[in-house]
Amino acid sequence: MVFATKLVGDILSFDELNDSTISLMDIDDQRLEQTTRVAKAMVHNEGLNATIEATTDRVEALEGADYVLNMVNVGGTEPFENEIRIPETYGVKQSIGDTIGPGGVFRGLRTIPTMLDIANDMEAVCPDALLLNYTNPMSILCGTMFKATDIETVGLCHSVPHTAKAIADYIDIPQTEIDYWVAGVNHVAWFLEATHQGQSIYPALREAMKDPDIYERDTVRFEMMKHFDYFPTESSHHMSEYVPYFRTDEDVIKRMRGTDSAERMATGTYLEGWKRRSAERDDPNLSVDLENVSVDRSEEYASRLIHSIETDTQRRLNLNVSNKTAAIQNLPEDACVEVPVLVDSTGLRPCSVGELPIQIAAFCQQHTTVHRLTIEGALENDRTKVHQAIKHDPLTAAECTLDEIHEMTNELIVANTDYLPELS
């Protein structure tokens, strides 16, 4: 509800787009009604010519679409709870668990069938539409679409601009004055270059890290930069799940909590927050001040991407795309990579990054292996590949033996059978 209305506001903030027809679709009547009320209030309050439609019929919503924005959650609370709490009993302490690790793999498995259904509907009623995916696990879902469908798909994530904002804050310069070159895979991408007035900001960032107050705000990312030279794009509490160093010892978890990430470093913090927010949004007495709803433009990429294509305004955005053009030469061709992409009326053109430095490419290679095994496991109904995907997860492997991982994966499959592809 919150994210959808943010993206609607972003689209309507452009003069060239504010007469669009925006069709909102959800399987939840109440949430759909709330979102529609806010979107219509934006149009009314700003005096725009946009048309807001709402339906619970996905095919009806997709009919004739030019762009499809996807932000679904499949399965609700039960599988999410299983994906966090079952691994926790084996010592795998996930803070978010939506993109990698046991949580990310199983979220991918339960979401892939819905993604393929969406693709089938799009192929029937809007085959030329561009699918803008916001749903996690980003790399697994986009990789599935690249491999199994003909729908043009791009993945969008705000971690790069959020990180640029954080870096600018740490070294006390305006975010708009930082120029950067970022690449990797979603949530494990790296600021390969970052400059201010032609000079690298890395010396200033390393100096800022020496200030305890600044270090405590982003402990894990500063540690990764300290040991591997480059600043990663995902927040400390989330980054801690992607590597084997920070979540296997309770003392280390406490030490890495810092200030900004204190509660977020805890196991299951996203699950608990998600349940709380869901309850609030499902409250029938939820009220919204519709008279003061206005159109504002956020940092999200979707509206900028659409505006660039529609108006031939060239922009460079960090997007999740297929590596078939070898944008990152030392990652597999069939990987989903997050790289700079030039966008204008001709479409999307990924920039060539060359090879990632080997010390950070290694992290991306680990995760692309997990992604590929998960995708193949889902598409081929191959239980063995699902097991192998989780056995390759760095955090899980740091905590468990192979037999323990096998047992945990079996337990997750049994608990979540109703939400998964039929694994043989």
> Which positions are annotated as active-site residues?
158
CB of 409 within 8 A of CB of 387?
yes
Compute how many other C-beta atoms are within 10 angstroms of the C-beta atom of residue 354: 12
Q: Which residue, chain included where needed, has tokens 């950070």?
A: 360
Tell me the average pLDDT across 285-292.
Answer: 82
Q: Go through 217-246 and write b for each residue having 16 or more CB atoms within 10 A of its CB, e for each that does not.
A: bbbbbbbbbeebebbbbbbbbbbbbbbebb
Task: Calculate helix-pair angle for 138-148, 358-379, nearest 10 degrees.
Answer: 60
CB 116 within 8 A of CB 144: yes
DSSP for 233-274, please give it. SS-HHHHTTTSSSSSSSHHHHHHH-TTTTTTTTSTTHHHHHH
- Are the beta carbons of 300 and 158 closer than 8 angstroms? yes
Q: How many CA atoms lie within 13 A of 333 on its CB side?
A: 2
Pair 319, 301: CB distance under 8 Å? yes
For residues 412 and 89, the answer to whether their CB atoms sit within 8 Å is no
Please write the tens of the pLDDT for every residue from 159-190: 999 999 999 999 999 999 999 999 999 999 99
Residue 405 has a pLDDT of 98
What the block records as the tokens of 56 is: 């619970």
Biggest CA pair distance of the chain: 62
| pLDDT surpasses 80 at 285 | no
Q: Are 280 and 286 in contact (CB under 8 A)?
A: yes
Beta bridge mates, 28: none
Are 61 and 55 within 8 A, CB to CB? yes
- For residue 244, pLDDT over 90 is answered with yes
* CA–CA distance, 177 with 108 (Å, rounded to integer): 37
User: Mean per-residue pLDDT for 209-216?
Assistant: 96
The contacts of residue 76 (CB under 8 Å, 6+ apart) are none
Coil, strand or helix: which one is 195? strand
Residue 278: pLDDT band (50, 70, 90) is: confident
DSSP state, 56? Answer: S
Measured between alpha carbons, how far is 98 from 101 in angstroms, rounded to an integer? 8
Q: Which pLDDT band, with edges at 50, 70 and 90, does 262 fall under?
A: low
Using CA atoms, how far apart are residues 86 and 175, in angstroms rounded to an integer?
Answer: 41
> By the 8 A CB rule, do 370 and 363 touch?
no
pLDDT of residue 261: 56
This prediction's pTM:
0.96
List the beta bridge partners of residue 343: 315, 348
Q: What is the pLDDT of residues 87-119, one digit of tens each?
A: 999 999 999 999 999 999 999 999 999 999 999
User: What integer is the mean pLDDT of 219-248?
Assistant: 96
Domains present along the chain, CATH in parentheses: 2-156+281-292 (3.40.50.720)
Average confidence (pLDDT) over 145-160: 97
Backbone angles phi, psi at 317, to 5 degrees: -125, 150
At residue 18, the pLDDT reads 92
What stretch of H or E contains 347? strand 347-350
The span from the CA of 130 to the CA of 347, in Å, is 10
**What share of the chain in percent tops pLDDT 90?**
88
> If pLDDT is split at 50, 70 and 90, which confidence band does 289 have?
confident
Instruction: Look at residue 313 in the predicted model and tell me its pLDDT.
Output: 98
Q: Which of 49, 65, 62 lies closest to 17 in space, CA to CA? A: 49
Average pLDDT for residues 197-201, to the nearest whole number? 97
